[in-house]
Each structure stands twice: as structure tokens, then as C-alpha cells.
Structure 1
Amino acid sequence: MPFIDWRRFIWRRVFIDPYIDPYFSYIDKAGGTITLAGSHLAVAAMPAHHARQKKKEMPAQTRYTASHWGLYAASADGRTLQPHAGDPYPSLLGQDMLAAYRSPLRIQRPAARAGWLARMRGEGGSAGDDRERRGSEAFVELEWEEALDLAAHELQRVRKHHGNAAIFGGSYGWASAGRFHHAQSQVHRFLNSIGGYVRHVDSYSLGAGRALLPHLVMPMDELMAQHHDWNVLAAHTRLFVAFGGVPAKNAQVGASGAFEHRCRPGLAALAAKGCRFVNFSPVADNLDAPAEAVEWIPIRPNSDTAVMLALAHGLIAAGRHDAAFLASHCVGFERWRDYLFGADDGIVKDADWAADLSGVPAERLRRLAQEMAAQRTLINCAWALQRAEHGEQPFWASIALAAVLGQIGLPGGGFALAYGPLNLMGSPHARVPGPTLAQGRNGVGAYIPVARLTDMLEQPGEAFDYNGQRLVYPDIRLVYWAGGNPFHHHQDLNRLVRAWKRPQTIIVHEQFWNAHARMADLVLPATAALERDDIGFSTRERHVVAMSRLAEPPGEARDDYAIFAALARRLGTDAVFTEGRDAAEWLRHLYTEAAAKAELRGSRWPDYDAFRAAGLLDLAALEPQAPVVMLAAFRADPAAHPLPTPSGRIEIHSATIAGFGYADCPGHPVWREPREWLGAPAAAEFPLHLISDQPVARLHSQLDHGPASQARKLHGREPAHLNPADAAARGIGDGDLLRIHNRRGACLASARLDPAVMPGVLRLSTGAWYDPLRLGEGDAANLEKHGNPNVLTRDIGSSRLGQGCAAHSCLVEVERYLGEAPPLSAHTLPRLIPAAGTG
């Protein structure tokens, strides 16, 4: 049996089969969802794909929770979670929440790093001395009152002596599917209530794309919500050309909840209608369509732009481009055409040129260009491609290539950015505004692109370029972080550890004793989603969810809102932050606001009490949606429906970007060679290209200690996938302990020989909790023991335009680790000193 079939077999046996019977048992018992129309409650049948489903009324008082992985119903005793019956392909990872949240790794009570606490209490030591010990000291557990007093004192001190621009409000992503208990909203609202803070913009996942897209088409969030729905794709798309695949493992999540998982069923429906997939990717298994419908074309990482340029050149040279669409709906085509045909540099960007860079046969590129022009074609460009040096270019080139084909705005044609990264893309449901907690006004104008965190800490006062602006890094004295984990998502973690010692105080809200908590000065224990009531809502998902508290918080953990309300009282901003409401009153208020907006649209939502009693609000019944065709109105009449770009059209050449004068991101799509890729001189020393993709069995680093994530590890460490030929050349066997290294750092991982990975590539997924031999020492020789690829990735901006994360431009070497394996400590507690009088 081929190796890849064994992987699927093992995955099913470990993660799917144990849940099949209880899942269908749940469907049999609860085959409907509550539809609320006015004050009436009715049962609406779920989609027909659940063959064993029965139309029965949900049990009274069914309790739900929403998570990034889906919508779940709790058993009567709250001890198990079952996916909602209306989910066509539920993710099972959310069921790990119960076990993970009960872990001994939960932070039970406030704690302060010993050296920092001594300084705060006036017991000796200087800030410079004790900051060097971040990550290596014991923590002293505190009573809540002292912990809150210390936090308020430090906030007030920094504001008084350095101003609010010396406070960085750190919060990055995925904190909660609930719209009120969302750590990012809470910390920003609180810091705004006391005068503001230095914020971040963009994201690690999509930094280059977010900066680029408003210049070319429209803001990225708007574009994501407009993607063709899966039914439109199945009906019309006959050739799906994917750069970087369509990884359904990524689409199992949504930032505010994924309530109907559509990616795998959507791909299957496309194949059933006769759609063919061509997947340009360094790995074969990241397009989850039926295998017989997929052609895998291995491609050297970071060379996708060259292939796109060659395809566009081939179409134009053959006269297969849509000249009328380019003239009526685009600007700058002629300037880009000259570049493709070598007028700028004497290099014709044809198939032979691209073949030398990418490893893709030139003849296959020539044939593909003709195939694309002959039928309804969608060009899908994965987010992973823009997480690289010059990451703006593949996004830009894919849009320009689609414009050359001329199918943008036609059902199932054009481009996508992208199917796969989130469950949102492809939804058939209406886009409506949901409950939103206002964050207030930020009194500080300074900000950074999120991936420039270490630069900010290392280089206060230095100027940098970003998206046409010349900005200056602020001098940060206090970091207040709630939601997210920089020691997971940032690049070159050894460098971050060194920079992390510069601020005078670091305060975090955390749930677990991970590296983020251990590298802080003051740790405040926060509750998790299952431990609080909330309202679940996600753009273009079917339901609004009355999330119920299903478990008691551990120890003395508190909601973020309760923590910030207590601090606001100490700082005199309680009225601004709380507006006189407790958490329950805020939930009622936010829902009532959203219902009032629905009323203006002609949609009648039930009152709050009826909503909470039912548990679910079915938006599909109340707010029906016509088929979604991306940019259809613009195509039909670009004058009446212009794009929000300077020209109102698609900008193949952007005069605005050209005016910035960035050599690393000029005014149209170009090929720029990264400093680290398999075609670079550095490949002689480090001959493997590292792909640090999203993990299968967790979300980023969330639930790394949970059952699913632990079951995927080998010998407790992350699996590193490499081609058998690369393994044989290094004497590596399946399951061997590996040392992966470059000049930035080294980590241990377990070898997994995998023919689905092309030669010259190493695949090590992100999310293993950062676990160096010596926590707090940012030294490239400090071996990371767990398999965290971000000790290896480069901390540079994608370009001066986007300043996005460039993790996927990274070269490494790998060897068997022959010494005694150091013990893992990522999932152990730090040394804790009980508070006085508690034993």
C-alpha cells in the first residue's frame, strides 16, 4: 500500500472512527436546529448530506459553544461535545477543548516573576539586571488584589513618565469565537480607555496581501467575503489552477468560528462536476480533492511568480488574451506586457525562462496556458505564497494572470486569494453585521506592521518604510499582551528572546504555562471559551450562537473583561470602559444592537431571552443569499460599480506603488529572487527549503498539549517530513531524531519519510510549544527541543510595501541527532512559589 494511503488510514483510525458512532447517534437524536422567526420557534431540517438524519426537535435547553473549529453541542452533564448536526464535514479538534482546558498546565492564580516582583516591592535590584532573567526565574503566586495593584501601578508609571506611546498593546488572533470575550477587543478597549497604546496592523498570515490588495482591487477583508460560493464553482469552474494547494486542514478554522465546514465537500462537488485541478506545490497532499481529479506539479518554493508570468506571456504571445477586458476593466496592462516581453531588462519571461527557475517543464507550461484559455478557469493563490520575501508578487501576478484570461467577474472564473486558508471563502450565506464590542478611540497614532515586533523592540527611534509611509519605531517600556502567543507566531525566536528583555515590564493574560507566560513579568490567569457565556458569530456563517458556560474556571482564573474592569477602577476609567454594565448586560446589549440593525434590513431577530433559550439563530432562514459571484457587478458595469482603487479598475500597473520608489516592490508584478531559496548561493551550505505550514491537529499553537496534537507527534516531538531520497543521502530513517539547523538556530524533530514532499524540501509544521534548552537565552546555539520551526525562520519584511512575515523564504540543513535526547519541558510547570499564607 502506498505510504500516503497509510497516513490517511492512521488519521482516520485515530481521529475520525472513534467519533463516527457517537456523532451519528447525536444526529439521530438532534436532527434539526432552532429557527427563530419573530417570537416563534420552529425546527428546520439540516442539509440532505446527513443520510441518517431525522427531523426531530432539539432537546430543550441544549447548550452550545462556538470555537474556531466549529459549532458544538454539549452533553447534559457537560462532559462531552458533539459537532452540530448541520455541519457537512465537522472538525473534531474542538472536542479536544474539554481535555485541554482541564490540563494541569492551566494557570491557577496570578503570579509574578521573582526578580521583577522584588523590584516592584522595593526589595532591591535594577530593571536592567532582572530583565536579563526573564524566562529563567521562579514565579511567586499573588493574591488578585496585589496583582491588580501592581499592574495598575506600572501602567500609571509608564503613562506619567513616558506617555501612552510607550505602551504596546499586544494581541494577536484567535482568542475567542465569542464576540464579547474576545481578548483582542477587550485589551484594545481597555488601553484606549486610559489614553491609547501603540498598535499593530495587518497579520502574520496575510501581511503582504493586506497591504497590497487595496491598491489593486479592494481591501483584503472585503475581497475574502466576496469569493464565489462553492455551488457557483461546482456549476461553472472546469479548470482549477492552484498555487500552493487548497489545504482543507486550514479551512477547518474560522477566526470567529467555522460553523459549516465547506472546503472538502466543495472540492468533491467540483470534481464530481468534471472540474480538473492542477496543483503547483512543493508538497502533493495539500489539495484535498479526489486524487483522480488532481495533477500535482512539483515546483521549487518561492518560484510561483515566475510560472505565473510565463503563463501570462504564453497567452499573450498566442493571442489568447482578452484584450477587450484588459482595456475596459484594467489599467497598466501595456506597461506589464512590455516587461513580460523583455523591454525592461532584455529577459523574455516565457516558459523556458520559468522552467529554469521553477523546475516545471516548459512544455507543460505552454500546454497549460492553452488549457486555461479554453475553459472556465479559476486561479487560486494560497496565502502561504505571500509569507515570503517579495511575497506581494505572487498575489499580484495571479490577479494579473486572471485579468489576461479575462474571466474575472464571470461565475467560477477569475482569481481567488484563496480557498483553503479559512472556512469563510466559498460560503453561500449572507454577509450581515453581527454583535461587535466597540474598542473606542486610540489616542496614540504610532503603530507597526505586526511582523515587525522585534524590530520595534530592538530599534526604538529608527525610521522604516511601510506602504508608502516613513514611520518611526516607538520606544516601548511596557508590553501588555492578551490573546495570542508571540513565542509561537513570530520568526527568528532567538532574536525575539533577546529583544524581549528591553521593555521594563511585560504583563500577560494567559490560560496555560507556555513560553509566553514564562517570559512575562506578571501573569494574570484568564478563562477559556467553555468557561463563560458569550455570543458566537462569524462573517457569512449560518448561525448566531448563544454560547453557554459549560465548565468552571480553574483556580482563580477570571474573564479578561473582569480583569480589565478591575484595572479601570484603579485607574479612574471605569465609566468609560464598562459603561456601567457587567458581562451579562454587555451580552444583552450587543445582541440587541445587532438585532436593531437587522430590523433596518427587514430581518426580524427574536428578543435576547428567546435567543438564549433556543441556543441558535438560523440566519439562512432569516437572511437568504443569492449565489455569490466575485466582482460580478464590477464586470457587468465598471463605471456604475467601480473598484475602490485610484482608477476604479484593476491595477495591473499601480502608479501609486510605483511612486513609492521601492526596488523590492515596483509598480507591476515582477520576478525578484529571494535571498534564501533553492536557487540562491546559500543553498550550497543549507540545501533544504523549509516549509513551515499550518498544523493538522491544532490551530497554530492552540491545544498543542491536547490529545489530537499529542497523537500526531513522534517520540513527543513534531514530525519533520522529507523526501526519502533526501533522507537516504543523509543516512536518516523513518522515526529518527533530527537536528534541523541554520545560522539562526537549531531544533529537534522526528523524521517522517514522505514521498508527498518533493526533493530539496523539508516540511515542519508550526505550533509546537517553544521549548529551548535554556528558556530566556536567545542564542542560536540554544537547541530548541520540541520542533518549533520559528527558531529557523527569517525575521525580515516581505518588502518595504507590506513588511509582512517572510517565514517561507528559509534554507536549512538536517542531520541525525546522535547524542542523548534532552528531555522535553514545554508541557511542564515552571517553579512556582506559593503566596504567603497559602502554603
Structure 2
Amino acid sequence: MDGQGAAGARYTAFHWGTYRTRLDADGAIGLEPFDGDPSPSPIGLDLAASLAAPCRVGRPHVRAGWLDGHAAGAFGGAGRGREPFVPVSWEVALDLVAAELARVRADHGNAAIFGGSYGWGSAGRFHHPQGQLHRFLNLIGGYTRSVNAYSHAAAEVILPYVIGHGLRPFHGTQMPWPVLAEHAELVVAFGGMNAKNAQVSPGGVGSHIVRRSLARCAERGVRFVNVSPIRDDMPALVAPEWLPLRPNTDVAVMLALAFVLIEEGLCDHDFLARCTVGFDVFRRYVGGETDGVAKTPEWAAGIADVPAAALRDLARRMARARTFIALSWSIQRGDHGEQPIWAGIALAAVLGQIGLPGGGFGIGHGCCNYIGNPAARVPWAALPQGRNAVDAFVPVARFTDMLLTPGASFDYDGKRLSYPDVKLVYWAGGNPFHHQQDINRLLAGWRRPQTIIVNEVWWNACARHADIVLPVTSPLERNDFGAAAGEGAAVAMRQAMQPVGEARNDFDIFRGLAARLGVLEAFAEGRDEMAWVRHLYEQSRAAAQRMGIALPAFDAFWEQGVVELPEGAAGPLLFEAFRGEPEAHPLPTPSGRIEISSATIGAFGYDDCPHHPAWIEPAERLGGPSTGSYPLHLISSQPAVRLHSQHDHASLSRAAKIAGREPITLHPADAAARCIEAGDIVRVFNGRGECLAGAVVSEALRPGVVQLATGAWYDPQAGSEGAPRDVHGNPNMLTMDKGTSRLAQGPTAMTTLVEVERFRGNAPEIRVFAAPEGVD
């Protein structure tokens, strides 16, 4: 960054950046970009004006049907999302929540409580809803939890078997952007590197670096190949070559590239012999000795619909150049999503450049701002969560399965487990109606628990389908400090405004519940909000000191507002020492090497995740046997104007909509074949559900592919034949709720076929940006 904070100025941090707060003449709070950020995200600038929007939860509410049933000793969720809410006082609301938690614990045990929360709730180190909820629940005996992340679950599970490193630690040790710019000659990016995704980092962005890093690479002559169905998945500033493959066919392309390298003697046999195991198994599979199908470029061309000659040429160029293989998180969010990660690493191993500056592979460059960021990685303190006494867990994307089939068995990561019988869901942070696939199926499961409690800022779908809704503050309405590992700043998040309505922060909510359940002292430890913020900052300062990084004392930091961090000390690259002496510096895999074939995975006996990277036909794809009545492949990518579904009600997000709906982009040929013009409202549908969207027509994607960003707030109204239709453009009305494989059970949102047609008749009004009917 170029500058520190100005003394006396007030700042705040969001996942998409650092901003200076100001007080306008009319008393309104405004935001402006931080001077130290050369590419500030516009998302944050819009937020202060939206904090008192009609969809703000202003006071505690209880669903009328739940309240009546609770009084009669009966519970049921059939009315969720359909019945009105009743406002209650905070005392009544907290008494109800505490009594429900006590009842469920006594009658069913703590495993019947699901601590549903997700990590994007706040950039602050203290006011992190997930951490607050889990700390509280652990103190009253624990809860059923979820594991892995929707963003990259398949990669999280497969990576330790292949390279011995978990994905989250791996994020912080990947190839830095300056090293790529200095040493790489060719970057082959599967899934691209879309700068809109890098607007964010979990915990906040100090300075946005991805666009300028890509520009630096281009200035130094690095060439880029965008292997994606979408042209704009790589910014034009790097003049990328575009290889527009069909969605979900990355593995076929990777195998064909490996075939050429092996067939033409372009692989690094020395590296493969010293640093890998299983290459011979992989070679036989790629050559067709295993299954009788050689994975030639001609074979891949029939699957991916890219020229075989282009694949042969690309493989040869990769062998001649210092090549970096970039694997986007998006490519593993499809059926058999473990395979593109494994196949990408195998391809890099065949090239033999792993451990060289500018060579090898990376996972997530361009997906978040902190990946590849050279800033020093301070181990910032967070609110301790304690120990969870409950062993039960569920893979995050199998949440609906858990609700619908309690007691059923499932496979995960080599284990045979059972879904717990959840009676109470407590959600604080995140929106399952955004993250979870197949909303119609989710609704069926969502209505099964006896009670659902939600801490929420907005009347989004999660709150509208809850039983008890507790209003919480936004980051501008509380004190905290923001900092993220791999980001270049720490930010004093000084409260800028009083809470709207009766909103309370999560800490005060759980402190009230802790007092009612006898764990107040253990939960609060005698500290209030500011004492906790000071405590966590000083813990972080001590950790930084041990790294040789001097941070100011808390009072000076609080006054200064923003503290810039130095770049991390240059050290050996990940895999560099391993490459030089694999015996002296083994990887934490069973063999100590990169496992192109894994005997451990093979022993699991999963037919949907064999012991080496493989092409496995997905459940749906263009050109596949299941195209049928739905000839378009839906890509549900991240939006450019919000983070996930956060602040969909704000003016920046709403201004990007078409006729009030989320935009869906079609290729001109697909639009013309359906008599669709730009600006039309269209119906998007398949056998799982339907939604309405606004048409955009562009050549920036390949024919047969449509793009509809995630995050439109779910707005169900009567649709075809009385079935629910989302009229706003939520793609999870269409996505399948299927695990990637029995290994990771990750989400498969990118494996979705649909049809699109012009919407006939009067378009329904969008209702979700107001409070539910009957709520003031």
C-alpha cells in the first residue's frame, strides 16, 4: 500500500476492502475509498446508504405459527416462509431461545443442535458471527457442525492425499504474484482468473493487488491462456488466448495435454522418478492401456469441443516455456470435482516444473485477493471457540441430506458415517438459500427441524424462513478490528453510527443467552466489546513481534486507523526444497512424494473417485448422454456487484439488474434460436425448478452456455403448474444437490443443464427488498 491511515480519521473494513467513514452535513454516514488501495471495490461505497433499507430487521420477531405451537407444546415447520411474524421484546426473544436450547439439549442431546453459520459474516476479528455462535454452543455442550467450504470443498479433501497439504494452509504458501511476473513465461488458467472474484478476502482487503499483478505479468511478457467457457474469465489487459471448452470437461483437456507430453517425450522423467509415485499407473491410463481408450487430443476434442490441433500446440508450448498451471476454485464445483484438481497437479508433475520459480501449479489465484499476495502473514488472533464435545458433523454441501434423512449412512473421506437427527438449527452469518443447491429440496428439509433461530441484519430468505429472528448490527454499528492473513493492513473498525432499530451485536445476543444458561462468565471472561477488541489486537501484536514485525500499541493503532504491513521476507518457494532433495524434505503424504496415484484412495473403493486422476462422465453436460430436454449449460458464477448474496438490496446490485431481475447472459446464436432479445425477461428452467431472469446477449461466452450469477435473494411466487418459481433469478432453483463424489461430497453447482425461453405475460413484482408482509 502507498499510505497509512490519517490520525483521527475513522475507517472500517469489509471483505471487499478498507474504507474511510465520513459524516455528511445532513448527519448521514458515508464511505469513501482508502487512499492506500489503488483499485478499490465499488461494492463497499454503496453500503452505508442501504443500512436503513425497508428490508432491515429492526426488532426481534417470532413466527406466529411457531409461537402458537410452542405455547401448546407442539412444533412444526410447515409454515416457515408462509406465515406472518409477531414482534416481541428482546427479553421475550432471549427467553424463548434459551428455553428452546435447554429443551432440545435435555430431550435430544447436543447433537440435535446444528450450529449453522458461514464464514463471510464480518471482516472483524471479534464480531465474527460464526466464531461467536460456535463459542457459545461449545460452552453449553457442543453442536453438530459442518466441514469444508462451498467454495472449494473437493479441493480441500483431495489435496492432502496428493501433496500432503490442506488447501487452507496451502493458500498462504502459493506462488507469489511478483515471482510469477518475474519468472513465468506461460500461464494456463483453467477456469480463468476473473478480477471481479478478487475483490474480496475473508477478513478484509487492505490493497487490491490482482489487477495490478496481472498487468505487471503482461508488461514482462507473460502469456496467458484462458481455458474457460467464458471469455471474460480473464481480463483483456493480459491479452489472453481463449480456449472455450465445454463446461466440466477440464479433465479431458488436461489428460489430452498429458498424452501429448508423454507421447512426444516432453515429460520430465527425472522429476517424475524422484518426486512422484504412481506415474506409471497414470501413463497407462492416459495411453489407453487400462481401459482401451487413449486420451488423445482427438478424444478430448469430442468431449470438450476444442480443436485437437490446438491442444497439441498448447502442450508443446507448455513444455518449451516456464509454465504455471492455475486452477480456479470454480472447476472443482462440479460433478467429480476432485478430478480437475488432481489431474491439474498430475499435468504439472509431468511437465516437471513444480518447485521452480514461476512454474508448477496454483489453486485459487484470482479467486481471492490474498492468494499470491506477498504481504507478511501475521497470525491474527480471533475469538477462541473452545472445544466441541459433539463429534457429529456433515459435509457442508450435504446439509439438506442431513435434514431430510436423519440416521441415513453416507460416505465421506474414507469413513462411513450417519446423519444426526437435528431438531434445532441456529444460524448466524451466511445464507443457506444462497449457498445450498436445489432450493426446492432444501425447503423440504428446512421445514423438518422443530425450531430454526436466525441472527440476521436483513429480511433475506434465511430470516423469512426462520421461527425466531434476532436483529443484528452491521459492521458500521459496532467496534472491531479487521485484518486477514496475507493482506497488507490492519484496520481499526471504529463504530460510525448507532444501531438501526433495536439491533444488537452477536456478542451481546450470546452474552444474554449465556447468562440465561449459566455460562456467562466463561463466555464473556469479564470483557465487554472494546476489552475484547483490545485483547485480540494485543495478542496479534505479540505474534507479529515474534515475527520481527512491529505494530503500534492498541491506543495508537485505534487513533491511527490503518496500519500498513511489510511484505513477507523472501524465502524458499513451496516445493523448492522438496524438489531439490525429496528424501531430505519429504511431503506429508504416505510416500513422501506427490501421489499421482494414491493407494489410500484406492483402498476406499469409491467408483466415483478412483486411485488416479480420471475422466468420469458427469451427471449432466453439453454433448453428453444426458443433454435431453435441457440443451444449455448454466454457469452460476460469482457476481461483480456484491459478495455472494450480501447486499443484493443495495443500489449497486440493483442497478445491474435487468427489469429488476438478475441478468442471465446468452450467446447471440442461442438467443436468436429462442427469439430472445437483450432486455427480455426470460424463464430459466429444468426438472428441478425454475426462475425468471433478465436477458443479456453477448459473444463473451461460448454457444450452449448461459451465465447467471449467484446471490439474487430468493423470491418465490407461483410458477408453472403451481410449483414455486423464483421470480428474481436465483440459480439454485436449478442446480442439483449431488455430492462431487463419496470422497469429498462437495457441491456440484457447475453441473447444471437448463432451457431458457421468453417469459410470456405480466412479470411479477419483486418483493424481497421490503420487509415480509405485516412487519413494520
Matched, 1:127 2:58: no
1:304 pairs with 2:250: yes
Task: Report SS of the residue matched to 1:611.
Answer: helix
AA matched with 1:823: E
2:579 pairs with 1:635: yes
Residue 830 (1) aligns with residue 772 (2): yes
1:418 Cα deviation after fit: 2.0
- Residue of structure 1 aligned with 2:597, choices 641, 653, 658: 653
Q: Which residue of 2 aligns with 1:270?
A: 217
Q: Find the counterpart in structure 2 of residue 295 from structure 1.
A: 241
SS at match of 2:627: helix
Letter in 2 for 1:520: A
CA distance in 1, matches of 2:308, 2:415: 40
Whether the 8 Å contact between 1:120 and 1:150 is mirrored in structure 2 is no
Q: Distance in 2 between matches of 1:144 and 1:506?
A: 17
8 A contact 2:426–2:454 mirrored in 1: yes
Deviations along 1:576-608, one digit per CA (max 9) or x if unpaired, are 211111111111111122222233334333221
Q: Is the 8 A contact 2:472 2:504 kept in 1?
A: yes
Report the equivalent of 1:108: 58
How far did residue 289 of structure 1 move?
4.3
Aligned to 1:91: 41
Q: State the partner residue of 2:156.
A: 210
1:770 aligned residue = 714
Contact 2:378 2:543 in 1 (8 A): no
Are the aligned partners of 1:412 and 1:629 in contact in 2 as well (CA < 8 Å)?
no
Do the aligned partners of residues 780 and 663 (structure 1) sit closer, same or farther apart at CA in structure 2, a change above 3 Å counting?
A: farther
2:169 counterpart residue number: 222
2: CA distance, partners of 1:71 / 1:636: 41
The residue matched to 1:75 in structure 2 has which SS? strand
Please give the secondary structure, in 2, of the residue aligned with 1:285.
helix
8 Å CA contact 1:739, 1:815 repeated in 2: yes
Asked if the contact 1:721–1:762 (Cα under 8 Å) also holds between the matched residues in 2, the reply is: yes
> What are the residue-to-residue correspondences of 1:499-578 with 2, within 5 Å?
499-578=445-524
* Whole-Å separation in 1 of the counterparts to 2:425 and 2:372: 38
The count of corresponding residues between Structure 1 and Structure 2 is 772
1: CA distance, partners of 2:549 / 2:213: 29
C-alpha contact (below 8 Å) 2:29/2:49 kept by paired residues:
no
Distance 2:323 2:572 in 1: 17
- Equivalence for 1:726: 670
Question: Structure 2 regions of 5+ residues with no counterpart?
Answer: none
Amino acid at match of 2:627: A
**More deviation, 777-786/599-608:** 777-786
List per-residue Cα deviations over 1:397-420 (Å, max 9, x = no partner). 000000000111111111111211
Shift, 1:309, TM fit: 0.4
What is aligned with 1:378? 324
Aligned with 1:337: secondary structure?
helix
Does the 8 Å contact 2:56/2:771 carry over to 1? no
Q: Which runs of 5+ in 1 are unaligned?
A: 1-26, 35-57, 835-839
Q: For residue 820 of structure 1, what is the aligned residue in structure 2?
A: 762
Once residues 160 and 779 of structure 1 are traced to their aligned partners in structure 2, the CA distance between those partners, rounded to angstroms, is 44
The one-letter code sitting in structure 1 at the alignment partner of 2:755 is E
Among 706, 716, 725, the alignment partner of 1:783 is 725
- Tell me, in whole angstroms, the C-alpha distance in 1 between the residues paired with 2:720 and 2:271: 54
1:32 aligns with 2:7: no
Letter in 1 for 2:29: R
Deviation (angstroms), 1:778: 13
Partners of 1:109 and 1:793 in 2: CA distance: 34
SS at match of 1:112: strand
SS of 1:681's partner is coil
- The one-letter code of the counterpart of 2:45 is Q
Match of 1:240 among 187, 195, 207: 187
After TM superposition, the score normalised by the length of structure 2 is 0.97
Q: How far apart are the structure 1 equivalents of 2:372 and 2:724?
A: 44
Q: What amino acid maps onto 2:105 in structure 1?
A: R
Determine which of 61, 76, 79 is the counterpart of 2:29: 79
Q: 1:652 to 1:207 in 2, by over 3 A?
A: same
Are the aligned partners of 1:745 and 1:779 in contact in 2 as well (CA < 8 Å)? no
Deviation, 1:266, is: 1.1
Residue 734 (structure 2) aligned to one of 774, 792, 803: 792
Q: Hey, what does 1:67 align to over in structure 2?
A: 14
Inter-partner Cα distance in structure 2 for 1:574 and 1:441:
17
Report the Cα distance in structure 1 between the residues aligned to 2:223 and 2:447, rounded to whole angstroms: 52
Q: Which amino acid aligns with 1:677?
A: R
User: Partners in 2 of 1:587 and 1:400 — Cα distance?
Assistant: 45
Q: 2: distance between equivalents of 1:639 and 1:826?
A: 59
Q: Find the aligned partners of 1:783 and 1:600 in 2 and give their Cα distance.
A: 56
Structure 2 Cα separation of the partners of residues 469 and 708 of structure 1: 45
Q: Measure, in 2, the Cα distance between the counterparts of 1:710 and 1:284.
A: 24
SS of match in other structure, 2:766: coil
Give the TM-score of the pair, scaled to structure 1. Answer: 0.90
Check conservation: 2:3, 2:564, Cα contact below 8 A.
no
Structure 1 runs (4+) greater than 4 angstroms displaced: 777-780
**3-state SS of 1:663 partner:** coil
Q: What amino acid is the match of 1:566?
A: G
The residue number in structure 1 matching 2:276 is 330
Q: Which amino acid aligns with 1:325?
A: F
Indicate which of 747, 758, 765 corresponds to 1:805: 747
- Asked if 1 retains the 8 angstrom alpha-carbon contact of 2:54 and 2:769, the reply is no
By how many angstroms is 1:653 displaced?
Answer: 0.6
Change (3 A) 1:412 1:158: same
Q: How far apart are residue 779 of structure 1 and its match?
A: 9.6
2:229 maps to which of 279, 282, 285: 282
Q: Mean alpha-carbon deviation: is it higher for 70-79 or for 611-620?
A: 70-79
Deviation per residue, 1:611-661 (Å, 9 max, x gap): 1111122221xx742167332232233233322222221111111111111
Match of 1:195 in 2: 141
Matched, 1:735 2:676: no
Match of 1:47 in 2: none
1:591 aligned to which of 537, 541, 544: 537
Output the amino acid matched with 1:92: P
Pair 1:665-2:624 in alignment: no
Q: Distance in 1 between matches of 2:558 and 2:474?
A: 20
Decide which of 186, 196, 207 is 1:260's aligned counterpart: 207
Q: C-alpha distance in 1, partners of 2:571/2:560?
A: 29
2:585 partner SS = coil
